[in-house]
Amino acid sequence: MARKHSGNKGKTKTIADKADRYRLYELSVQSPESEVDFVSRRFRKLTGRQARVLREDFCGTAAVCCEWVRRHRDNEATGVDLDGEVLDWASAHNIPRLKPGQQSRIRLVKDDVLKVSARGMDVVLAMNFSYWLFRDRATLKWYFRAVRKALVADGIFFLDAFGGYDAFREMQEEREIENDGRGFTYVWDQARFNPVDNRMRCHIHFAFPDGSRLARAFSYEWRLWTIPEIRDLLEECGFRNITAYWQGFDKNGDADGRFRPVTSADADAGWICYLTAEKG
C-alpha cells in the first residue's frame, strides 16, 4: 500500500508525521461492536444456537477478532491476513488490550485466504469489501468455495457490499471523525472507475487540523461487484438462503445502523449492506 506524507518538512513534526494509519483506519471505517452484535444475533436467529468459533478473513488489525473473544469466555477467533506488518501491529497494539484468557482464544495467521487451512468455523467474515480484490469470477469462486469448506454444517458466511449510483463515479467523500479532541478528516477517494470491467482504484487519505495530510494511507484495486453477481456466485459455490440486509432510517432521515433482511431496497446514491450465505 503506497503512502506519502505531505505538509511541514521543518523541525516540528506535523500531526500526519505522528499519525498511526492503522488506528486512524479503525476509527474511520470500523465498528467491531456493532458488527459482532449483528453477527451473533443473526447467527442465533438463523441456526437457533450461539456462534462460538469465528474466522475473520482479511483481518487487518484484528479488531473484530478482539471484540469476538471479549464477548464470551467460549468464543474463539482466527484472524487471517497476508500482510505481516498489519498482523505485527495487531499483536503490538490490540492483543495486549485483552485479558490473558481472551488472548489465549485468539490466533493470528499470516496466510492467503485462498489457501488457509483454518476450518471448523461457525462463522467466516469478509468485511469492508476486502474480497473485491478478487476481480474475476474464477478467483472469487475459488475463495467462496474455500470459505464454504471452512464452515461447519450449519455455518454462515457474513460479507458486505456497497453500491448505488455514486459507486460508479470518480469522486471523493469526506467525513469528520471525532477522536477525544484529536479529530481528523477521513477522505474516501474513488480515483478511477472503468465501466468496461467495473474495476476501481480507491484510496483512503487522512487530513488533520494543522493542515498536514496522510495521502494514500491505504489504496485498493477492486472490482465493483453487484449484489446479483455476488449472490449468483455464492449459489454456484453451494451456499443457500443468501440474504441481503439493509439499514432503516431514524426520524432525521439518517441511516439507523440496524440492518434488516430485505428483498428490495431504495435506489439510493450510496448504500452499504450485509449479506449472509448459509452452508446449507
Task: Return residues touching ligand SAM (CB under 6 A).
Answer: 29-30, 58-60, 80-83, 86, 112-114, 127-128, 130, 133
- Identify which of residues 55 and 213 has a Cβ nearer to ligand SAM in the complex: 55
The residue number whose beta carbon is nearest to ligand SAM equals 60
Q: Which residue, 128 or 212, has its beta carbon nearer to ligand SAM?
A: 128
**Alpha-carbon distance 31 to 231, whole Å?**
25
Min CB(211)–ligand SAM separation in Å: 27
In angstroms, give the least distance from the CB of 63 to ligand SAM: 7
One-letter identity of residue 39:
V
CB of 161 to ligand SAM, least distance (A): 13
Rank residues 102 and 130 by Cβ distance to ligand SAM and give the closer one.
130
Residue 66 or 127: which CB sits closer to ligand SAM?
127
Q: Length of the chain, please?
A: 280
Cβ neighbours of residue 12 under 8 Å, at least 6 residues apart?
Answer: none
- Which residue in 40, 76, 65, 240 sits closest to 154, CA to CA? 240
Q: Is 11 exposed, middle or buried (0-12, 13-18, 19+ CB in 10 A)?
A: exposed
**At closest approach, how far in Å is the CB of 113 from ligand SAM?**
4
Q: How far is the CB of 35 from ligand SAM (least distance, A)?
A: 8
Between 19 and 159, whose beta carbon lies closer to ligand SAM? 159
Residues 6+ apart with CB under 8 A from 126: 57, 58, 113, 147, 157, 158, 159, 160
